[in-house]
């Protein structure tokens, strides 16, 4: 058995929680996110470290944790990580494979994290999958005297299909409108 499979098997499945009007909160990164009512929500982990939350909107039996061969369904993710690479520009975070999207939706609202300068990317795959990523920096720390860089990288994603894209975009816009971020102060 390879190491990745052994690690995946060692992670116990976690129970998803039904979304209500109350926000899901990650205190460490200052994420407050309200998911659509009734969907099942899981904590997003890096190893065993909580980074945010995700939901597979069409999956009422969602089991949290590593899964293989997931059926195609709409997913919404919000997460954060410390800017350990000390990126200074969003282009360093997203890389060259981030086709920029006009952040203004058809109804005139701005897609992004409220109160944060956000970069929005959209990728369309040959199989019909559409992924929209919203990225923003939060907080700052000094990496050398007089030179500050962002402290946290926030990201939110919508994974959809061409068949459900219009409705999913509207759901994602409502989700993003309700996300509140309070970046943590860097440790001294």
Higher local confidence (pLDDT), 30 or 7: 30
**CA 157 to CA 11: how far, in whole Å?**
24
pLDDT of 20-74, one tens digit each? 889 999 999 999 999 998 888 999 998 889 999 999 887 777 778 765 555 678 9
Q: Is 45 part of any domain?
A: yes
**CA 184 to CA 169: how far, in whole Å?**
29
Q: What is the pLDDT of residue 70?
A: 58
For residue 169, the enclosing domain spans 3-181
Q: What CATH code is carried by the domain that includes residue 148? A: 3.40.1000.10
Residue 4 has pLDDT above 50, yes or no: no
Q: Is 129 part of any domain?
A: yes
| Percentage above 90 pLDDT, the chain | 42
**CA 56 to CA 152: how far, in whole Å?**
25
**CA 81 to CA 186: how far, in whole Å?**
13
Q: Is 177 part of any domain?
A: yes
Please name the residues in contact with 156: beta carbons below 8 A apart, sequence gap of 6 or more: 76, 77, 78, 79, 113, 133, 134, 172, 175, 176, 179
Q: Is 63 part of any domain?
A: yes
Q: What is the pLDDT of residue 9?
A: 45
The count of domains in the chain is 1
């Amino acid at each position: 058995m390879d190491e990745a499979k052994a690690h995946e098997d060692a992670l116990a499945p976690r129970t998803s929680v039904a979304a209500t009007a109350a926000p899901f909160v990650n205190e460490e990164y200052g994420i407050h996110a309200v998911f659509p009512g009734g969907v099942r929500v899981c904590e997003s982990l890096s190893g065993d470290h909580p980074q945010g939350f995700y939901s597979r909107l069409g999956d009422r039996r969602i089991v949290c944790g590593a899964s293989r061969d997931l059926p195609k369904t709409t997913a919404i993710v919000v997460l954060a990580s410390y800017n350990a690479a000390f990126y200074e520009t969003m282009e360093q975070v997203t890389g060259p494979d981030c086709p920029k999207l006009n952040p203004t939706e058809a109804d005139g609202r701005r897609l992004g994290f409220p109160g944060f300068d956000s970069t929005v990317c959209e990728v369309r795959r040959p199989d019909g999958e559409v992924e929209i990523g919203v990225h923003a920096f939060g907080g700052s720390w000094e990496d050398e005297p007089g030179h500050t860089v962002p402290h946290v990288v926030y990201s939110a994603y919508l994974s959809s299909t061409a068949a459900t894209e219009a409705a999913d975009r509207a759901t994602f816009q409502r989700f993003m409108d309700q996300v509140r971020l309070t970046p943590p102060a860097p440790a001294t």
